[in-house]
């Protein structure tokens, strides 16, 4: 079974902090994704990566950056956290053109 592991289930940070969300997958998938999910808005793609050191903007990249130094790890960075970034963050991975597999999610609260 594919295992996608997110570093924290719950996280509380303060406005202005730099926040790191980590995601690791164990199935050698080339594709990795970061989403946020908010009530009434569904899943929205923030960034994705097709390969090591490659990244592509999704639909809502503002205020975020990503890092993919190793194939199995994809990090999401909130450069200066703001209250409107309070959300559920979901990481996913996949092979090319195959369904995505999700981690458990991180509920992030920015105070």
Token reading at 49: 């990566």
Total residue length of the chain: 111
Site size for another protein, by CB under 8 A? Answer: 22
Q: Which of 47, 64, 66, 103 binds another protein (CB under 8 A)?
A: 103
Q: Which of 25, 31, 75, 87 binds another protein (CB under 8 A)?
A: 31
Q: State the Cα–Cα distance between residues 45 and 35, nearest whole angstrom.
A: 4
User: Judged by CB, which is closer to another protein: 41, or 111?
Assistant: 41
- Contact status: 96 vs another protein (CB under 8 A): yes
Whose CA is closest to 33, among 74, 5, 65, 70?
74
Residue 34 interacting with another protein (CB under 8 A): no
What is the Cα–Cα distance from 42 to 19, expressed in whole angstroms?
Answer: 23
Regarding 50 and contact with another protein (CB under 8 A), the answer is: yes
Encoded tokens for 91: 């990481």
Candidate segments 10-18, 41-49, 67-75, 77-85, binder of another protein by CB under 8 A = 41-49
């Amino acid at each position: 079974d594919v295992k996608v592991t997110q570093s924290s289930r719950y996280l509380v940070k303060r406005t202005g902090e730099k926040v790191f969300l980590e995601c690791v997958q164990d199935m050698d998938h080339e594709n990795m994704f970061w989403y946020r999910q908010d009530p009434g808005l569904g899943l929205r793609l923030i960034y994705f990566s097709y390969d090591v050191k490659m990244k592509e903007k999704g639909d809502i990249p503002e205020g975020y950056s990503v890092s993919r130094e190793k194939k199995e790890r994809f990090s999401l960075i909130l450069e200066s956290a703001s209250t409107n970034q309070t959300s559920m963050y979901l990481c996913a991975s996949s092979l090319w053109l195959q369904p995505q597999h999700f981690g458990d999610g991180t509920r992030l609260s920015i105070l």
